Chain A
């Protein structure tokens, strides 16, 4: 039983802190806070320096544009926390969009078509989950395959035609606002889902189990966490939410086409990683992800209104993605090194190199380099 090897104090006065660092440092010096601060900063700068940005209409368009990415980022966060990845989400969006279009065009009532699309999304997610959990394949490979498969199904069904005839009731609803404010109606749906996922991740046993899976899968299994079942549930959730995002996307842009939302998985992953979720798993918080999505959204929107073309915006997004991950990894390494040095007395060789990170594609890490005292809310 190891106790802190501090110099002996009188037993009655010995108190142990609950955490390694004071509360204000734990909350404020995190990547999530940095992202939130950056978001506020960028929004203020944009509002003051970009003509046309600081008007109420901007908020509406921003929220409308950001909704599908934010929706998909929610289950994606959970998946990345467990150390897996799902690259097929954008293809599910496209497939759901196409199914909605094809069925509506064939005369099926829109509500039924949307329901079928949701089911298809869940089925796609279930396929991913099955291949990862039951067959035991790496999620990177599986989702690259299903990315091609679902996108191929979507394009195969419609070709390059777009279905653009949707009931006005639904397309108007997708773009409508709450009362006289500038907040779109869909934001209500988004807020509900954000809260639901936040509760799921941070306040339930299931959510705590996800962190455990990401940090040490086998230890989690032996602790009673249902690893395979959790992952399967997450992939199905991802498929379901992606399909929902696909239906929204179709209504918002009024067009169902096979290549809708191509490349959206990159934006989602960029936002999630920017928001402080570690690609190796086991670390991350939802408020960081929301801030990350909004940050990229505000940046893109401000640059667009300022007349910058989308290629520059893409370069910046790519650079942000790379930078945020490099910095996270660097910070995590310094944290581990700091702890290793603090734990072992000087002169003892520190542990073997953190070689798990030398080139593994996703977090199949055995020796982790994350700081457990800072994850969770």
Chain B
């Protein structure tokens, strides 16, 4: 008698729908926000600037959020991304200013490698010294920002110092979509594919779910953690290049506070803070939702000073929701086990 094919039980179907529901939910919330804002002021969506800003503004945060999601999935956190972004953006400016005629592609490669290096520092300390990522990245947040300020002094990179075609990347469009959004989409698709289809990616989820089991199972935990932090740093570096292209002016405070938004975007997007679940698509959607809310608030008559409070409420709401879903999931799994 041949073994029966493994049937999709109610439970797995249920779980899958729960997982899918989160991303769909955020998309719905996003559409609602856009609709409300457009009703209040049609220029929000239906003007050239409005359409452009809708996609442009969240693109950079989305890239950082993808990196952050990868780290959070492994049950860590990377609070230094804001400082890495700032340093990378400043390095971008300095490369263009100090090395006349350097091609944009070279700058991108150098700065991304630089970001990866900064992430490597975090990764080595977390993976090998076995110190909680919270503390390490707290320290590197301070340290990298200090290095940024020390290097920049009171100078800043001005838009007039950067080559025109580089700045054009920041506001340019290809087929109705801003260039930066396309970059973000590429990053998103690649990251999403790797995390879902490659063993290295799926192992990250295992490490986040249960680090002790992962190590006993024989996974190369240290290598994966290192890779996760290097990726996070590299993506923050890439975001720094895009930041310089978009805004043109880079002061020593560039990127300050972005780590909070990145963590918030990931958490809102369904990446559980205790690791092991969530997708980078969710994180990117979370970033888009966050930035769109930020832009929509003044239109809806709420002074944009309340942005941070809204972000906080969303984060708390998201983790409470995660918890409720996790409890429910556990209960249904137990029931399924008993019913078998």
Do A and B belong to a common assembly? yes
Interface string of A21-62 (1 = CB under 8 A from B): 000000000000000000000000000000000000000000
Q: Are B143 and A315 in contact (CB under 8 A)?
A: yes
Min Cβ gap B252→A in Å is 8
- B320: chain A residues at CB < 8 Å are 131, 135, 137
Interface size on B, residues (CB 8 A): 58
Using C-beta atoms within 8 Å of the partner chain, give the interface range for chain A: 35 or more
CB within 8 Å for A360 and B211 given contacts A140-B273, A149-B313, A312-B150: yes
- In the complex the two chains form, what is the Cα distance from A358 to B274 in whole Å? 13
- B39: chain A residues at CB < 8 Å are none
Asked if A355 lies at the interface with its beta carbon under 8 angstroms from chain B, I say yes
Asked if A319 lies at the interface with its beta carbon under 8 angstroms from chain B, I say yes
Q: Are B305 and A145 in contact (CB under 8 A)?
A: no
- In the complex the two chains form, what is the Cα distance from A131 to B136 in whole Å? 25
- In the complex the two chains form, what is the Cα distance from A310 to B145 in whole Å? 11
Select one of A131, A315, A354, A359 contacting B316, CB under 8 A.
A131
Q: Are B139 and A322 in contact (CB under 8 A)?
A: yes
Which residues of A in the span 132-164 have a Cβ within 8 Å of any Cβ on B? 135-138, 140-142, 144-153, 155-156, 158-160
Select one of B135, B207, B306 contacting A359, CB under 8 A.
B207
- In the complex the two chains form, what is the Cα distance from A141 to B326 in whole Å? 15
Asked if A258 lies at the interface with its beta carbon under 8 angstroms from chain B, I say yes
Min Cβ gap B150→A in Å is 5
Q: Are B305 and A156 in contact (CB under 8 A)?
A: yes
Which of B52-60, B71-79, B105-113, B183-191 is found at the contact surface with chain A? B71-79
Q: Are B309 and A358 in contact (CB under 8 A)?
A: no
- A363: chain B residues at CB < 8 Å are 132
Q: Are A359 and B150 in contact (CB under 8 A)?
A: no
- In the complex the two chains form, what is the Cα distance from A265 to B320 in whole Å? 24
- In the complex the two chains form, what is the Cα distance from A231 to B249 in whole Å? 46
- In the complex the two chains form, what is the Cα distance from A367 to B133 in whole Å? 18
Interface string of B131-157 (1 = CB under 8 A from A): 111111011111111111110000000
- In the complex the two chains form, what is the Cα distance from A219 to B63 in whole Å? 43
Closest B residue to A258 by beta carbon equals B305
Q: Are B308 and A358 in contact (CB under 8 A)?
A: no
Select one of A280, A329, A358 contacting B215, CB under 8 A.
A358
- In the complex the two chains form, what is the Cα distance from A25 to B198 in whole Å? 52
Asked if A372 lies at the interface with its beta carbon under 8 angstroms from chain B, I say no
Q: Are A358 and B305 in contact (CB under 8 A)?
A: no
Interface string of B200-216 (1 = CB under 8 A from A): 00000001000110011
**Residues of chain A at the chain B interface (Cβ within 8 Å):** 85, 131, 135-138, 140-142, 144-153, 155-156, 158-160, 258, 266, 269-270, 273, 279-280, 309-319, 321-322, 325-326, 329-330, 333, 352-363, 366-367
The contact sample of 12 A-B pairs, CB cut-off 8 A, is A135-B323, A151-B312, A156-B308, A159-B303, A309-B149, A311-B150, A318-B142, A318-B144, A325-B132, A354-B130, A355-B212, A362-B132
